[in-house]
Structure 1
Amino acid sequence: MTSLFSKFDGTASALGALVQAGGRNPFAVVIEKPISSTVGVIEGRETLLFGTNNYLGLSQSERAIKAAQDAVGKYGVGTTGSRIANGTQSLHRQLEQRIAAYFGRRDAMVFSTGYQANLGMISTLVGKDDYLILDADSHASIYDGSRLSPAQVIRFRHNDAEDLHKRLKRLDGTPGAKLIVVEGIYSMTGNVAPIAEMAAVKRETGAYLLVDEAHSFGVMGEKGLGVAEEAGVEADVDFVVGTFSKSLGTVGGYCVSDHPELEMVRLNCRPYMFTASLPPEVIAATMAALEDMQEHPELRTHLMANAAHLHAGFHRIGLNASRQVSPVIAVTLESLEQAIPMWNRLLDLGVYVNLSLPPATPDHRPLLRCSVMATHTPAQIDQAIEIFRQAGLEAGAIAEPAAL
Structure 2
Amino acid sequence: MTSLFSKFDGTAGALGSLVEAGGRNPFSVVIEKPVSSTVGIIEGRETLLFGTNNYLGLSQSPRAIKAAQDAAAACGVGTTGSRIANGTQSLHRQLERRIADYFGRRDAMVFSTGYQANLGMISTLAGKDDYLILDADSHASIYDGSRLSPAQVIRFRHNDADDLYKRLKRLDGTPGAKLIVVEGIYSMTGNVPPIAEMVAVKRETGAYLLVDEAHSFGVMGERGLGIAEQAGVEADVDFIVGTFSKSLGTVGGYCVSDHPELELVRLNCRPYMFTASLPPEVIAATMAALEDMAEHPELRTQLKDNAARLHAGFHGLGLNASKQVSPVIAVTLEEIGQAIMMWNRLLDLGVYVNLSLPPATPDSRPLLRCSVMATHTAEQIDKAIAIFKQAALDAKALPEAA
TM-score, normalised to structure 2, is: 1.00
Partner residue of 1:22?
22
Conserved in 2, the CA contact under 8 Å of 1:393 and 1:401? Answer: no
Partner amino acid for 1:99? I
Partner residue of 2:106?
106
Partner residue of 1:183?
183
Aligned residue pairs: how many?
402
How is 1:206-245 mapped onto 2 (pairs within 5 angstroms)? 206-245=206-245
Partner residue of 1:372?
372
Partner residue of 1:345?
345
Partner residue of 2:296?
296
Percent identity of the aligned residues? 88
Q: Write the distance in 2 (CA, Å) between the matches of 1:27 and 1:253.
A: 24
How is 1:1-400 mapped onto 2 (pairs within 5 angstroms)? 1-400=1-400
Structure 1: 5+ residue stretches without partners: none
> For 1:209-233, what per-residue CA distance to the aligned partner results, in whole angstroms no more than 9, with x for missing partners?
0000000000000000000000000
Conserved in 2, the CA contact under 8 Å of 1:241 and 1:255? Answer: yes
Q: Write the distance in 1 (CA, Å) between the matches of 2:221 and 2:241.
A: 16
Conserved in 2, the CA contact under 8 Å of 1:353 and 1:368? Answer: yes
Q: Write the distance in 1 (CA, Å) between the matches of 2:176 and 2:265.
A: 18
Conserved in 2, the CA contact under 8 Å of 1:199 and 1:233? Answer: yes
Could you say what secondary structure the match of 2:150 adopts?
coil
Q: How far did residue 401 of structure 1 move?
A: 2.8
> For 1:378-404, what per-residue CA distance to the aligned partner results, in whole angstroms no more than 9, with x for missing partners?
0000000000000001101112332xx
Conserved in 2, the CA contact under 8 Å of 1:135 and 1:159? Answer: yes
Q: Write the distance in 2 (CA, Å) between the matches of 1:23 and 1:197.
A: 46
> For 1:350-387, what per-residue CA distance to the aligned partner results, in whole angstroms no more than 9, with x for missing partners?
00000000000000000100000000000000000000
Q: Write the distance in 2 (CA, Å) between the matches of 1:34 and 1:107.
A: 35
> For 1:114-143, what per-residue CA distance to the aligned partner results, in whole angstroms no more than 9, with x for missing partners?
000000000000100000000000000000
Q: How far did residue 337 of structure 1 move?
A: 1.6
Q: Write the distance in 2 (CA, Å) between the matches of 1:396 and 1:96.
A: 50
Partner amino acid for 2:124? T
CA RMSD of aligned residues (A): 0.4
Q: Write the distance in 1 (CA, Å) between the matches of 2:344 and 2:204.
A: 49
Could you say what secondary structure the match of 2:8 adopts?
helix
Q: Write the distance in 1 (CA, Å) between the matches of 2:194 and 2:7.
A: 39
> For 1:126-167, what per-residue CA distance to the aligned partner results, in whole angstroms no more than 9, with x for missing partners?
100000000000000000000000000000000000000000
Q: Write the distance in 2 (CA, Å) between the matches of 1:264 and 1:240.
A: 17
Conserved in 2, the CA contact under 8 Å of 1:304 and 1:326? Answer: yes
Could you say what secondary structure the match of 2:172 adopts?
coil
Q: Write the distance in 2 (CA, Å) between the matches of 1:83 and 1:224.
A: 27
Partner amino acid for 1:375? T
Could you say what secondary structure the match of 1:109 adopts?
strand
Q: Write the distance in 2 (CA, Å) between the matches of 1:212 and 1:396.
A: 37
Q: Write the distance in 2 (CA, Å) between the matches of 1:300 and 1:130.
A: 38
Conserved in 2, the CA contact under 8 Å of 1:30 and 1:42? Answer: yes
